[in-house]
Structure 1
Amino acid sequence: MTVILILVSFLYYTRALAIIHSKISDIAEKNISQTAGLFDLMLEGYNSVTKSLNGNYELTRLLQETSSNPAVSVINERSITNIIGAAFYSRKEIVGIHIITNGGKVYSYEKQFAGVIDINYAQTDWYSKLQASKGNMVWLGLYSGSPINTMQQDTVFVFGRQLYDLMDYKSIGVIVIETDPAPITEALSNVSISPGTRVFITGMDDQLIASKGQQGAGATGFSQLPKPSQDQAIIVDDTSDQLIVAASTALADWTIYGITPKSDFNSEINQTRLYLFVVVLALIIVSTMLASIVSRTIASPLKLLIREMKKVELGNFSGSVNVNSFEEINSLVSSFNRMVQRMDELIKRIKLSSVSEKNAQLQALQSQVNPHFLYNTLDMIYWMLDEKGNERLSRVILSLSQMFRYSSNWEEASQTTLRQELEQIRHYLTIIGSRLNDRVQTEIDVDENWLDVVLPKMTIQPIIENAVKYGLEPLGTPCKLQVHAERHYHQLHIKIIDDGLGMDEATLDQIQANLRKRPSLALEPVSRPRRGIGLHNVHARIGMMFGENYGLSVESRQGEGTTVTIIVPIPIALQGGRRDENSNCG
């Protein structure tokens, strides 16, 4: 038990550790994927601002127009500023928009208008990158202050592109836009999964674009970090002591890194491991104590009981077991002692009665009468009557013989075919016709296609017997009994119709309620006289053979007659041919 407990605990801990690492990796991957998506949406918005300015025909025309008239120049500058201002207010995070023409003119629209333009902007790195671009967006990254307005010292995110005249596609200057870096830093926060997570954005040449989290080890040397390939937007690396996730953006050639020390989420795992160790140790101590108690109070008495059982197996019924243990063990031992004593008494009694019992069995065997003796006797009576010319009585005897053979032969199977059931009915009606002086006119009209349909043995005869006994015989006048079959989809409805007395509503309701109960097929008590196989018995046997969708249904009106419908399935082999919903088979 201790080995199993330790093994299960180890497997549980290993599996739990793997699941935790997998979940953390999935969360980190999902977070960085969402962050990359946010950056793509953000950069797409910024890109659309620069495109709207570059595609403004009026702006490009005014930037290239020169006029000697000071008033016209002032109006042009004001129009340019208004166009830039419209773009400025299109996004709330924009801090400033600057257009620097190739002629050296600077047009700005920003929150702080008292700034001083850096006169050495042409020698700066960011200006060189814009000049070297071919009209594509240049993402310059985070700056501690405005690269153009020397009075602006707040951190800004800077990007821009060359401004072209779309008529002859020549460069007329550059656009520089400065935005609040808060959306970027907030998006980077989404990558963090622990307080020690460091998040970086690197550019094409592995230069740092933006960062969030603790600086120091790992903040440099981005060329050594894994980079997503073109067909792999996100990668996860947890082979070292750090969990590294990386994702690339679609619009900018950026790579977003999230680096989390595994020690940050291993601390909780260590606590779980310590708790599991304490629990396992406590369970080992408890299990050892329980094993000792069980050995003294349960195992020893059971061993004594087993030893005595082996003696009983060898035929020694004189021994007994005496133990003092739990109430259940004491009760088991007492029961064993009583059982052994009882077995000893029964063996002695069996020895005394075995001879007389064998004699009784022999007498019972000798007194049995072979049913074939009755068949042969009925056949002998039939031939004697036939020789004397009593054809009517001979037919009755022959029918009785055939019915007796059919009803008493249950050795082969308890099911039959509709053909054999109808043959049995004809013999029964022969006897009934003689007994009622041919007052009952019978009509059996069943299509030959349905004669091989399977149904339980003795299904139709009990129904006709009830119809004659309770509906037709008390009537005292000529009457009619019909048997015909109808197809309903894959079911065969065998109808037994009489024009006898019928039933009142109370009796009909009681019969229908009994049929709905689906009674179990049970034998009647021996003390009661046998009254034949009733409707509920036939109904139950059909249900047991074919399912609850099959059985009997009864319709009746007092003074008009009764209709009993036997519903059985049509075998697949007989379902070919007609497909009508209700085809008359009679």
Structure 2
Amino acid sequence: MGRWNSLRNQIFVGFVLVMLMVLFIAGIVAYDRVSGLLKTNAEKHIHQTAVQANGRLDALISQVNSLTAQVADDPYVQRLLSNEKGGESATFNQRQALLQIVGSYQSFMNGVQSMEIYTTNYSRIFPMDDRSLDGRLDRNWITEADKEKGRLIWTGPDPEDPGVIMAIRRVSLLDRAFEHGGYVVVRMQRSFFQLNDLDDADDTLDSILLVDTNGSVVTSNLEADLNVETLLSSDRSIVQTRDEPYIVVRQHSEITGWTLAVLTPVSETTEGVSILRTALLISGLFGVVLFLIMSFLLSTMITRPIRRLMRAMRSARPGAMEPNIMVSSTMEIHKLNEVYNQMVYRLNELTQEVYEKEIMQSRTELKALQSQINPHFLFNTLEAFYWSLEDKGDEEMARMVVAMSRLFRYIISSPNKNEWVTLADELEHAERYLRIMEMRLGERLTWEIQLSDSMRTVKIPKLLIQPLVENAILHGVESRIGPGKVSVRVDASTKEGLVHIEVRDDGPGMNDQRLQSVVHALNGGPAVSDKGTGVGLINVDRRLKLYFGNQLGKACGLSVKSEPDEGTIISFDIPKDTEGAYDSWQNDSNRR
């Protein structure tokens, strides 16, 4: 699970998912827009073809209309029909002459099968036979032609010859105030309406279907089996045939009343869409493969320096950590590696410091152990001195020996035991030291210790106050002419939660230069002293910072105030609640 949950795999999968989503959305949008555009263009093309075909059909109808109008208005035909109207029947020669006249008009137009001329009583005078008009056509068409008063009426296929389309118009006699004079019937071949030149010119696969008002097919180049009634009655733009669906565009002719339908297979209009779909799939597949490669390379480029850094971290061992030498073009990776190297350098420094401190501590413990070899011998000896002095009646010296014995017992103990004491115990130890020094200095030393009851049980590291008292006697009382005083005061600090401890003497004090040298020594500079080693204050200051530095921060440590001829005040603050530092010390002691 962890292997597949690596950063490289997450980046790789994330990039691939985003890319697939982008390609999917872009492909759908492009497919929808382009396919819609292709379909719209196809429908426009079909509609344009239908309009063009309908215009072409109207032009052909106009030619037929013009031809029949010329025949109806011919002077010879007008005179012959006028005589028939007046009761004078045409002779054989007169009717024979119509053959040449009608033939001359037919020669001007291809597709005319024949032309027929009838009188008002439906008798045919051309061609020369005795057939009547009502025997050729349904009376409804004759009535329709009478209503239109000279407009050409298309009646549909010839009942006697389905390959011929018939049309009729009434003849108006010009010299009789447009009185009804007869009828002209024209018979046109179906091929006249094929409109094949449109398909050849556009190089399309459009099919054209021409249907008359009766629903009969005038002309068609549609090979599929199609129900004409369904085609004309349906309002849908797509009609399903037995073979395949067709897109249909219908045009209605106002001249003939016929319906022209242009049919295009749906497969032809969607051919471009299929090509588009294939192109999108191929380009999308190519894009996915390319992005997979790029995502893999990019994720590898990002995670490779991180893996190198991880290997360097795994191989690191305390005390032997090596920096990771790596140059990355990525700013964040370079910064991370730089921070790691800085951590390595710092840890090596800290390890060295800890190592040196451990050596120093080991040496110190060794010396302490050496100094504590058979300490009972020292205590027993002091006890022997005490009883000897008691027997001799030298009580003052006996008290001094007892004080020294207790002083040594307080100081000489295991380094890992009794390190923390109460303020009451620490001040009691300082008092024993002051009594011993009082025996040595006599009337030159007076001292005072003030401890509030609320502070007696506060925990404090051992031997923090006594070195300050020792310093006050050494540099204060002994450096002064005449008697001197040392005061120790422990009370609540002005800062909340702290205990203030102050050791004051009325010695000669220090000038600014001397005071600055002491402060400099406390801050890490060389110890300067004209008496002793001068390390007592430094030792106390460092121990305070070691124990309470985390709690007090920069405020931790000794504070030294001194004025010439006014004495010196050395003070420090500790937390009233020292449980945290005390528990930390105990844990360290248990580990050791």
TM-score normalised by structure 1 residue count = 0.38
Larger Rg: 2
TM-score normalised by structure 2 residue count = 0.37
